[in-house]
Structures are given as C-alpha cells and as structure tokens.
Amino acid sequence: MIVECVIEDDRWLGLATLADRAAFAALSGVGLEASAFEISMLACGDTRISALNADFRQKGAATNVLSWPSSERGADVDGDMPVQPQVPQDTQLGDIAISYDTIAREAAQSGTPLVDHVTHLIVHGTLHLLGFDHVRDLDGALMEGLETEILGKLDIRDPYL
C-alpha cells in the first residue's frame, strides 16, 4: 500500500504515516490486499480545495475531502457492493484531496480529536475510490457501516453517533 502525499499546506507535515494507516485499514476492511494498491493524496487548505470543488463539482465552497477514482466501480443496485478493483490492472485507485482548515474546524466543533477525524476522512475518501458512495440511501448505509467497522478496529469511535 502506497499513499503518495503531496503536502501543499505545511500544517499537514507528518500526514504520510497516518494516511498509510487509514488507507490500509479501509482496503483491508473490504477484503483487499492493501499492499497491492496505490493512492495519491493532496494535503491542502480551504483555498485550494474550494477551487478543486468548483472545477470538478461546480460547488464553489470548501469541503473536507474530495476523491477521484481511477475507474467507475459503483454498484448498479442501491446497497450492493461496488465492483472490486483487479490486480494488476487496477492498482492505481485514484486521488484524494483533504483540507486542513475544514477538517480542523469540524474536529473542533464536534469535539473529535483531529487525528481521529483525519483518519475517518481518509477512510471515507478511500472507500469512495473503491466505488462506495452515499448519494442513494442503501449505498450510504453500507458505506457508513463499513466506515464505523473500520474505524472501530482502529479504536476510533463511530463518527455517525
């Protein structure tokens, strides 16, 4: 498992180890051999993520995490498991961007330790790269359940309580 971190905002220094741990947990949590996959991560602030959100989602506001899967893997039926990536052809899963400003603000507002919230959002973004989503109700329930299970194995409380 390789998470290549591009640190654009110095407040993210030290992120690489946490990113590897969280992405490894997410991939392993859905039954994949995590060491076979690669993810690129941009660690930035609100200004940059706002621009990315506007360019790719036509939403001109900051957000906590964005993801760009390398392939469409989503399930056709609401609540079904997405299509699993195949080794060796699908080893590059895609890209994730995270914003320090938004994540730190959310963690402070919820009383969640920053490291726990960052871990949650990297797990969340990694699951998006694997085709999980929360647009449809059953897909959202599946994704949230997986996040809760994965985070529980990392001794992080359920972020949806």
Question: Residues 69, 110, 116, 62: is their CA dihedral positive or negative?
Answer: positive
pLDDT at 41: 98
pLDDT at 83: 93
CA distance linking residue 139 with residue 128, whole number of Å? 11
Residue 158 within any structural domain of the chain: no
Residue 136 within any structural domain of the chain: yes
Number of domains making up the chain:
1
Residue 130 within any structural domain of the chain: yes
Residue 120 within any structural domain of the chain: yes
pLDDT at 60: 87
Considering the entire predicted model, what is its pTM?
Answer: 0.97
User: What SS3 class is residue 59?
Assistant: coil
Question: Among 10, 12, 159, which residue's Cα sits nearest to residue 96?
Answer: 12
pLDDT at 2: 87
CATH number of 134's domain: 3.40.390.30
Residue 99 within any structural domain of the chain: yes
Residue 18 within any structural domain of the chain: yes
Q: What is the pLDDT along the chain (161 residues), one digit of tens a residue?
A: 689 999 999 999 999 999 999 999 999 999 999 999 999 999 999 999 999 999 999 998 999 999 999 999 999 999 999 999 999 889 999 999 999 999 999 999 999 999 999 999 999 999 999 999 999 999 999 999 999 999 999 999 999 98
Q: Is 120 labelled as part of a ligand binding site?
A: no
Range of the domain at 54: 2-153
Question: Among 30, 130, 138, which residue's Cα sits nearest to residue 74?
Answer: 130
Residue 161 within any structural domain of the chain: no
Q: What is the DSSP letter of 9?
A: S
Residue 160 within any structural domain of the chain: no
Please write down the HEC assignment for all residues of 62-129. CCCEEEEECCCCCCCCCCCCCCCCCCCCCCEEEEEEEEHHHHHHHHHHHCCCHHHHHHHHHHHHHHHH
